[in-house]
Amino acid sequence: MFVLLQSDTQPQQPLAQTLLSVVKLDARNGAIQEVKRIELPDVATAYSAWVDKGDSHFKWQGDTLVIAGNYFLMSDKNRRPPFDVRLDRNLNP
């Protein structure tokens, strides 16, 4: 079982970044097996990312977990390009 976490770094929204992580849980007992912070490809500066609700944004395509959302750079909050991250069952790109 896999869960997407969206965590704010600070309670004050103008200063906060939203960071994404995927948690792999044991389906039998709910124990955490692994936590993987999601890094956006080709984004080297501070950013805030989010994934909207719905199956189309966090889904399995065959053996690949697809996470699709948007982000903005902390230096340019008006531009909000999409991103797409793909992980295998071991949470590797």
Answer yes or no: are the C-beta atoms of 80 and 70 closer than 8 Å: yes
Domains of the chain, by residue range, sit at 2-87
Q: What is the pTM of this model?
A: 0.87
Span 30-74, pLDDT tens digits: 999 999 999 998 888 889 999 999 999 999 999 999 999 999 999
Rounded Cα–Cα distance for residues 38 and 91 (Å): 9
Report d(CA 89, CA 1) in Å as an integer: 10
The three-state (H, E, C) secondary structure of 15-45, written as one string? CCCEEEEEEEECCCCCCEEEEEECCCCCCCC
